[in-house]
Homo-oligomer: A and B are copies of this chain.
Amino acid sequence: MIRVVCKSKLKPDVNVEEYLKLASEVITESRKEKGCFMYTLHGDINDPTIFATIEEWEDEEALRQHDNSEHVRRIVPELRKRRESTDMNIYKVLI
């Protein structure tokens, strides 16, 4: 099992509601994918422009297939356009 944390900071003028609508479509579709154990979007309680997905995937192959999925290819570029920064890490559990 691997975990992905993808932290995004939105551009100041972005319509957050619109951003969340796009993001929710990716989340709904991703949760249907084989090997997707968890895919949750979070909002930072101190900064309304910071969001993070915490994802759990069966293995790197499941994540690779996710990255090549139709909904990721179609929607994630739209999300990235609205972001000031994206910080993504793929983790294995240690302790």
List A residues at the B interface (Cβ < 8 Å).
Answer: 2-3, 5, 7, 20, 23-24, 27, 40-46, 50-52, 54, 60, 87, 89-95
Q: Using Cβ atoms and an 8 Å threshold, which residues of chain B touch A95?
A: 20, 23-24, 27, 40-41
Report the nearest B residue to A26, measured CB to CB. B95
**CB-CB nearest in chain B for A51:** B94
Copies in the complex: 2
Q: Are B2 and A45 in contact (CB under 8 A)?
A: yes
- B20 near A91: Cβ-Cβ < 8 Å: no
Hey, which chain B residues are within 8 Å of A43, CB to CB?
91-92, 94
- Partner of A42 from B23, B46, B52, B91 at Cβ < 8 Å: B91
Q: Which residues of B contact A46 (CB under 8 A)?
A: 89-90
Other A-B contacts than A20-B94, A52-B89, 17 sampled, CB-CB below 8 A, are A5-B7, A5-B54, A7-B89, A24-B95, A27-B95, A41-B94, A42-B91, A42-B92, A42-B93, A42-B94, A43-B91, A43-B94, A45-B91, A45-B92, A51-B94, A54-B54, A87-B87
